Structure 1
Amino acid sequence: MSKHRVVVLKIIAGQLTVTAAACEYGLSRQYLHVLLARYRKEGLDGLEPHSRAPLTSPQTTTTRVRDRVIELRQQLTSNGLDAGPVTIAWHLREEGLRAPSTSTIRRILHTAGLVTPEPRKRPRSSYLRFEAARPNETWQSDFTHWPLADDTDVEILNWLDDHSRKLLSCTVHHPVTGDDVVTTFLTCIDTHGPPASTLTDNGRVYTARHGGGRNAFEYTLAALSIVQKNGSPNHPQTQGKIERFHQTLKRWLAARPRARTAAELQTQLDEFREHYNTRRPHRALDGRTPADTYAASPKAAPTGTPDTDRTHYRLRYDHVAADGKISFRRAGRMHHLGIGTTHRGKRVIILADEHSTTVISLNTGEIIATNTIDPSKSYWRNNEREPGRWPDSLS
């Protein structure tokens, strides 16, 4: 029999007063009166120790939240989206619900049988991770293959900001060419500003260094004073972020009807890019989205040359026409840049600011023309040449 029962029964039987019982059993008089009150209300069972747990706990996961965790897991997984605890917690908060800890969400998923056990993985702490300190410090690029509905193989070219994981560009090609790399890169710069460096593999669309020369992309980087970095051959871990990104992209595409055309696939990629940047919290970003992370810090920029100190560039990749000119639209009006027929067919990059254009050959990296912007004229002559008729203009 418990001590509480013994002491109460002795008091009830008149064998001990409350004061004597308190001295003999080491209990306070106030506590003995509490025990006596419990006995009168509940009998001997009321003398057993009561739980000290609060009647309600604000930390307890409600049934509504628990059910929503399971629903989100199933919904996100079926859509080919990330469905880990961090992502589920983000969606709960977006819906105005109190999100439990990620460990609690993980337990809910395990209890519901929604987690497939996997072999023990190498601990994350064992990896040497690199992450750019600021947005635009490094852009990673790579492409991956994807089949259309008729099994036509196409390639998806991506540009990813290393610091924020923001997907800057995601475009479909058949196949990816060096011209595509330059064009998409310059489009990204027009939208987001130039990066300080790029990181790619050693594919021919990115570098011709192993052939002893430069390709169009390398000349573009040199013209803009952007540092080029390439991973070691046979070491894809260097581009680990974009390799993992490709897995995320393909999982999302696989959860949707196969696109019949490249245009349909591009529509899917545009939808994916918006979701990936704004609706997918990233575990490596402390649960923030890539878009929020990209906007949270000042951007890095190329350094070193006066050209890259200009406030804003419009960049364009083009070819010199057979008549030695390049068509250039500005403020809704078409103009023509004089280059020279000796440069006909050359691939060029055009750098335009508010006052002038600079045309750089992507075969040699040299400036072959500069043109003063004059909105009142349709033809802007090449300032690198003396005025007058040149022999090549007669051909």
Structure 2
Amino acid sequence: MIHRNAPLTPTGRLRLARCVVDDGWPLRRAAERFQVSHTTAARWAHRYRRQGPAAMQDRSSRPRHQPRRTPAAREEHVIHLRQEHRIGPLRLAARTGIAASTAHRILKRRGLPALAACDRATGEPIRRYERARPGELVHIDVKKLGRIPDGGGHKVLGRAAGRSNQQRRPGGGYLYLHTALDDHSRLAYTETLADETAPTCADFLVRATAWFAQCGITVERVLTDNAWAYSKTTWRQTCRDLGIQPRWTRPWRPQTNGKVERFHRTLLDEWAYQRPYTSEAERQAAFPDWLDWYNYHRPHTGISGHTPASRVTNLSEQHT
């Protein structure tokens, strides 16, 4: 990488070398013209004579001879342990008797990514994807959420009192957050419903499709997990009536539907558990404002800090 204060770029080096080699300039004259030292001008002229324009590019500063480099057999042992046990540099260092920094350099030299960037089940690097246009694929999932009884739950009253209030007052149990998330824009539509049965899921899809249509998005495919409600004829028939192609993730592979899974985590952190609520009605009243903020105002790190609405044609201008 070129230093920001470097007097010569590869193009400047080539010009200097051609002045010396092709045009016959004295080294000192060329050095003065390009504002570098005499030895620098001689070095680039010498490389140009031997290898031509290709030699003007930066070279690695790694020494040609490294007598203290980790032996190849030990490197292979480190790689074998990493692939078999899926462990990081600290545990590799403990098993092989080398420094953790050395284990890290070996993994980096072999092109192995960090464990956080690998699939837990297979150890393979996670392959990230994004559809080219809004509506090409919509992720759908359900998040089960405990209701807050009137008077508050454990976040307001403490564990013991909150558990007692949950049992004593009406309004306990669970509610279900049904979410449809566009793969390209990350625009989200969420409803709080009483269950996750097949008819409920199918009706939610109808309303979600209508909402996306109002935003100028035509839903082409939906991706769900293999839950019972999404495998019934009701779901398939609803998709057929709407002209949508249903897709399902592989069993035990929630990462395939990871965008909506990540949305639910954001939803819990920034709305459901963001502050203590004294009732479920109070929490639900705060939800529309949060969802509006997420879709239209919140910078999304997955799309380079843009808002989901900014990725849908004219949607951000239509919002007030």
Computing the radius of gyration from Cα coordinates, the structure with the larger value is: 1
User: Normalising by the residue count of structure 2, what TM-score does the alignment of the two structures yield?
Assistant: 0.49
User: Normalising by the residue count of structure 1, what TM-score does the alignment of the two structures yield?
Assistant: 0.40
The structure in which a higher percent of residues are helix is 2
